[in-house]
Structure 1
Amino acid sequence: MNPFHYVRAGATQEAVAQLARPGEHPARLIAGGTNLLDLMKIGAMSAELLIDINAAVPDALRDAGADGMVLGAAARNAVTAYDPGVKRRYPLLSAAILAGASPQIRNAASNAGNLLQRTRCYYFYDPATACNKRDPGSGCAARTGVNRQHAILGFSPSCIATHPSDMCVALAALEARVQVTGPAGDREIPFAEFHRLPGDRPELDTTLGPDEVITAIALPAMDQFAGHSAYLKVRDRLSYAFALVSVAAALALNEDGTIAQARLAVGGVAHRPWRVPAAEEAMVGQLPVEDTFAAAAESLLQGARGSGFNDFKIPLARRSVVRALQMAHEGTYDNTGAPRGQHP
């Protein structure tokens, strides 16, 4: 038994106040609970108090026109993926969400919860093994263990875990901003600064304060990419598997066919979605051909290093980046892997 108390917060500030409740284990927020409850059952996470925020934070999706779009924190992943405005203006995000989890989980999982989900590292999920993320200072069993799913970029001696989200890879490419509120008021966190690299504090996944609540995700207007985007997810099986490597790619083209703008982010390779703006900038003005895309892949993956079982991820990531950019050039792809309106 893992006893805990449960309260429903009726407003955001009520949830913030509850987070400050003293106790041996921190209070935790719950919306869909698709990740948190599993971790509590196996003892990888604990809480004295669960704060239900479904009535406390927005669940609406708002099209802000030239200012982009705002996604409520409590909106479900499925609602977001199938929203007509998201599909029209941000098909890359829709495709990424639909590549993740299962329909049942997408129906329950919230947008904010997707950002805060924990790694699927085998050792994090096994309390009998050493894991600095679960138990700081205990060591990292993955470094010398079975590390096929693990990071090739941005890892540290303390942790080689990867972030599991598909949605977050697209949000990184789309330069989203995370809106949060806490005792000090409201603030926005650029998505590139929201997830942390492990360093020597791998137990901290994000820069969100312990007493802050996510209220929404703001997307800037990026309609120029709507016609040429693709989300490519490489995994061991087609159904309900986390990515070995995933790529969110989007292009805007000039009238002469050269690249006007590019966005590129990779998942499954680091403790956060991996984006290198310099790799995108180097494609500007170039023809959308394999050599251009291969150079972008090399720039994006500079410094990649395996830990044994995951060495194969480096060439796999290079090829995946090239293929995703080729798919984006061909046209916007939906979650079937076919250009919109061209199902196999």
Structure 2
Amino acid sequence: MREFAYTRAHDVDSAVALVADNPGARYLGGGTNLVDLMKLGVERPDLLVDVTGLPLDEVTEDEAGGLLIGAQVRNSDLAAHPLVRHRYPMLSEAVLAGASGQLRNVATTGGNLVQRTRCGYFTDPSKPCNKRLPGSGCPAVEGLHHNHAILGASDHCVATHPSDLAVALAALDARVLVQDLAGPREVPLDDFYRPVGDRPDRELTVSDGALITGVLLPPPVAGRSGYRKVRERASYAFAVGSVAALLAVDAGRVGEVRIALGAVASHPWRARVAERSVHGGPATPAAFEAAAEAELDAARPLRDNAYKVPLMRNLIVAVLTELAGR
């Protein structure tokens, strides 16, 4: 690991100013991803700005009945919070499905959203990778890609986003609160991540020095929700596919419906096509399967990850059928 400078930020404004003045600076929250990448030589910051002391570690109800989650709220605290468990159980389930208890005790809400892909080519500086070194190529397209993207990828990058939390937040229509030199603003999670395109190294729509200060959830809507994750071992593993869903059924027909998919794209994938397909229709496995097929019609699997298409179809059907049965 190379030498780097370290400082603690005392308020949001000073943290943003420090990073804006130094292109080689990075914010340090839990460090569960950043420090690993520094050890590997993937991240090489000149300065770490520690934001763990900022007053961004609370979960509070806003005036509209939604929930404001501070960026420094630890994953374990978020999953166990009574308001989260009662009003947004899908979110609690998603957080508990990620990492280990030890990591959840350290990892933060803001850091979880901006963690980098676990693609083996990205994390190995001896290999080319367009996300790490633009223009060097994407060896995963023809190489090891069994857990890579089937939706929204490009010839320049087929990596997936590893977060469980972000998938649930996508289904909940969350908004990300950020601040940069221009001041604070809200960004819908749908607009927070860039499409892969030909610049996979540019992952976010916000400025490079922007600091996530929190996540805003709208008031809960009627319906049952859940999160289901498929992985290669029972615990402490990233998803090969996941579904976060909310479903309201009245007289056998689907009312409110939200579906988001994980481990299939470079960002949490909101399944808008499937939502439109089932909305207003019968709450039956056949209808859910047709919706899943419609969503996955856009899938472009690679040589070794075509299994994800039937996996995600079956997962969507299983989760929606379970929610409808409740």
Q: TM-score surpassing 0.5?
A: yes
2:243 match: 247
1:230 match: 226
2:186 paired residue among 185, 188, 205? 188
CA displacement, residues 227-284 of structure 1 (integer Å, 9 cap, x when unaligned): x112111110011111111000110122x13211100010000001111324213212
Counterparts in 2 of 1:148-297, with a 5 A limit?
148-225=146-223, 228-254=224-250, 256-297=251-292
- Amino acid in the other structure paired with 1:173: A
Residues 145 and 304 of structure 2 are in contact (CA less than 8 Å); yes or no, is this contact kept in structure 1?
A: yes
**How far apart, CA to CA, are the structure 2 residues paired with 1:82 and 1:223?**
20
**How far apart, CA to CA, are the structure 2 residues paired with 1:277 and 1:82?**
30
- Amino acid in the other structure paired with 1:120: R
* TM-score, with length taken from structure 1: 0.92
Displacement after TM superposition at 1:316 (Å)? 0.9
**How far apart, CA to CA, are the structure 2 residues paired with 1:308 and 1:139?**
18
1:316 match: 311
Percent sequence identity over matched residues? Answer: 48
**How far apart, CA to CA, are the structure 2 residues paired with 1:73 and 1:161?**
25
1:135 match: 133
- Amino acid in the other structure paired with 2:6: Y
1:83 match: 81
1:341 match: none
Matched, 1:21 2:21: yes
**Change in CA separation of 1:238 and 1:65 when aligned onto 2, cut-off 3 Å:** farther
**How far apart, CA to CA, are the structure 1 residues paired with 2:184 and 2:307?**
43
Displacement after TM superposition at 1:136 (Å)? 1.0
Root-mean-square deviation (Å): 1.2
**How far apart, CA to CA, are the structure 1 residues paired with 2:22 and 2:112?**
26
Secondary structure at 2:270 match in 1: coil
CA displacement, residues 80-131 of structure 1 (integer Å, 9 cap, x when unaligned): 0110000000000000000010000000000000000000101111111110
- Amino acid in the other structure paired with 2:47: L
**How far apart, CA to CA, are the structure 2 residues paired with 1:297 and 1:237?**
25
2:145 match: 147
**How far apart, CA to CA, are the structure 1 residues paired with 2:300 and 2:58?**
41
Counterparts in 2 of 1:32-111, with a 5 A limit?
32-64=30-62, 66-111=64-109
Gaps spanning 5+ residues in structure 2: where?
A: none
1:300 match: 295
**Change in CA separation of 1:315 and 1:2 when aligned onto 2, cut-off 3 Å:** same
1:4 match: 4
Flag as ranges the 4+ runs of structure 1 deviating above 4 A: none
Gaps spanning 5+ residues in structure 1: where?
A: 332-344
Displacement after TM superposition at 1:65 (Å)? 5.8
**How far apart, CA to CA, are the structure 1 residues paired with 2:53 and 2:22?**
23
- Amino acid in the other structure paired with 1:12: V
Residues 81 and 97 of structure 1 are in contact (CA less than 8 Å); yes or no, is this contact kept in structure 2?
A: yes
- Amino acid in the other structure paired with 1:13: D
2:116 match: 118
**How far apart, CA to CA, are the structure 1 residues paired with 2:126 and 2:325?**
48
**How far apart, CA to CA, are the structure 2 residues paired with 1:298 and 1:31?**
40
Residues 154 and 198 of structure 2 are in contact (CA less than 8 Å); yes or no, is this contact kept in structure 1?
A: yes
**How far apart, CA to CA, are the structure 2 residues paired with 1:313 and 1:57?**
41
Displacement after TM superposition at 1:198 (Å)? 1.2
* TM-score, with length taken from structure 2: 0.97
Matched positions, count? 326
**How far apart, CA to CA, are the structure 1 residues paired with 2:270 and 2:294?**
10
Residues 39 and 125 of structure 1 are in contact (CA less than 8 Å); yes or no, is this contact kept in structure 2?
A: yes
Residues 34 and 108 of structure 1 are in contact (CA less than 8 Å); yes or no, is this contact kept in structure 2?
A: yes
